[in-house]
């Protein structure tokens, strides 16, 4: 049984500030250790359920946050910030399940450190009319390859946002967000135990899952912070201006839609880099 793990960081218990999530500094070094432990907890649970192979795609910031030699289950490690498929690089139809570890809520939500790919450019995104975070956008890739997204960890908003796009997904809530910069987090030991149990439970009922069921042709509407970003996005084929700050992307192919979105995100980084 092969498991693809996409790991972010803002959803890790205790993380409430960018200084804890972006290094180099002592605070970041501490919290990257908590992230590593949560990723390993998910792998441990998967191993108990019979998983045999893992690819961990480090998907946060510079995408080099984990320590490869400390990954459990002899997991392969995909790192580095330039990835054509970004947070879902490496996924293909050979995988049996996707885990989304330490994810966060969408930019328009009050989840801790909420954003949608580029916080300095994107104000919010909807998918088929529903506000969507990175989990739902990334589910487009899983749907294309026919792989179910079975586990997500983070705060309650993160869990709620993933549910409409990933039927039956196991949600593990390790923190309660009060604002974008305050939360009540579980003790790290308890968070890891819940993640381990959640991963095990998800894979034990793998036969009950289906791949994401996003209706196609699917429509992404992206609202930017200003019109310059929207104008630049329209340089891409199939991207249409909706209003001064918003664009629409429509495609019958979920993978192609994801690629269009990621390309638009990459263009925004040429104006501002987070």
- pLDDT tens-digit profile of 6-23? 999 999 999 999 999 999
Q: Residue 6 and residue 128: Cα distance in Å, rounded?
A: 24
As beta bridge partners, residue 18 has: none
Contact predicate 257/249, CB 8 Å: yes
Scanning the structure block, which residue is given the tokens 């954003």? 115
**Class of 2-105+134-208 per CATH?**
alpha beta
Q: Residue 103 and residue 86: Cα distance in Å, rounded?
A: 14
> DSSP class of residue 198?
H
What sign for the dihedral angle of Cα 35, 101, 16, 267? positive
Q: Strand locations in the chain, DSSP E?
A: 2-7, 53-58, 76-78, 97-101, 122-127, 130-131, 149-155, 170-179, 182-185, 218-224, 239-241, 246-251
Per-residue confidence in pLDDT tens, the chain, 274 aa: 999 999 999 999 999 999 999 999 999 999 999 999 999 999 999 999 999 999 999 999 999 999 999 999 999 999 998 899 999 999 999 999 999 999 999 999 999 999 999 999 999 999 999 999 999 999 999 999 999 999 999 999 999 999 999 999 999 999 999 999 999 999 999 999 999 999 999 999 999 999 999 999 999 999 999 999 999 999 999 999 999 999 999 999 999 999 999 999 999 887 754 4
The pLDDT assigned to 274 comes to: 45
Q: Per-domain residue ranges for the chain? A: 2-105+134-208
Residues 6+ apart with CB under 8 A from 107: 114, 115, 116, 119, 122, 123, 124, 125
Q: Residue 113 and residue 135: Cα distance in Å, rounded?
A: 15
Q: Residue 221 and residue 239: Cα distance in Å, rounded?
A: 10
Q: Residue 143 and residue 255: Cα distance in Å, rounded?
A: 8
**pTM surpassing 0.95?**
yes
Q: Residue 110 and residue 156: Cα distance in Å, rounded?
A: 11
The pLDDT assigned to 272 comes to: 59
**Tokens in use for 21?**
């999530």
How many angstroms separate the Cα of 4 from the Cα of each of 84, 87, 184?
Answer: 17, 11, 29
Write phi, then psi, for 179 (nearest 5 degrees): -145, -175
């Amino acid at each position: 049984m092969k498991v693809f793990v996409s790991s972010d960081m803002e959803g890790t218990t205790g993380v409430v500030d960018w200084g804890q999530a972006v290094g180099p500094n002592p605070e970041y070094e501490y919290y990257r250790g908590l992230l590593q432990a949560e990723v390993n907890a998910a792998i441990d649970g998967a191993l108990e359920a019979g998983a045999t192979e893992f690819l961990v795609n480090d998907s946060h910031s510079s995408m080099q946050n984990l320590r490869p030699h400390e990954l459990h289950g002899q997991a392969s490690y995909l790192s580095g910030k330039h990835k054509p498929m970004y947070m879902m690089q490496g996924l293909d139809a050979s995988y049996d399940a996707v885990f989304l570890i330490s994810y966060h809520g969408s930019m328009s939500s009050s989840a801790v450190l909420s954003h949608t790919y580029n916080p300095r450019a994107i104000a919010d995104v909807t998918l088929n009319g529903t506000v969507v975070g990175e989990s739902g956008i990334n589910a487009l890739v899983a749907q294309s390859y026919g792989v179910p997204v079975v586990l997500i960890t983070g705060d309650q908003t993160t869990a709620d946002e993933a549910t409409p796009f990933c039927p039956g997904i196991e949600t593990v809530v390790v923190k309660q967000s009060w604002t974008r910069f305050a939360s009540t987090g579980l003790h790290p030991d308890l968070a890891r135990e819940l993640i381990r149990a959640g991963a095990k439970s998800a894979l034990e009922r793998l036969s009950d899952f289906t791949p994401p069921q996003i209706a196609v042709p699917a429509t992404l509407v992206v609202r930017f912070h200003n019109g310059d970003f929207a104008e630049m996005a329209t340089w891409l084929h199939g991207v249409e201006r909706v209003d001064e700050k918003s664009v629409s992307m429509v495609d019958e192919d979920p993978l192609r839609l994801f690629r269009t979105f990621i390309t638009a995100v990459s263009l925004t980084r040429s104006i501002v880099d987070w």
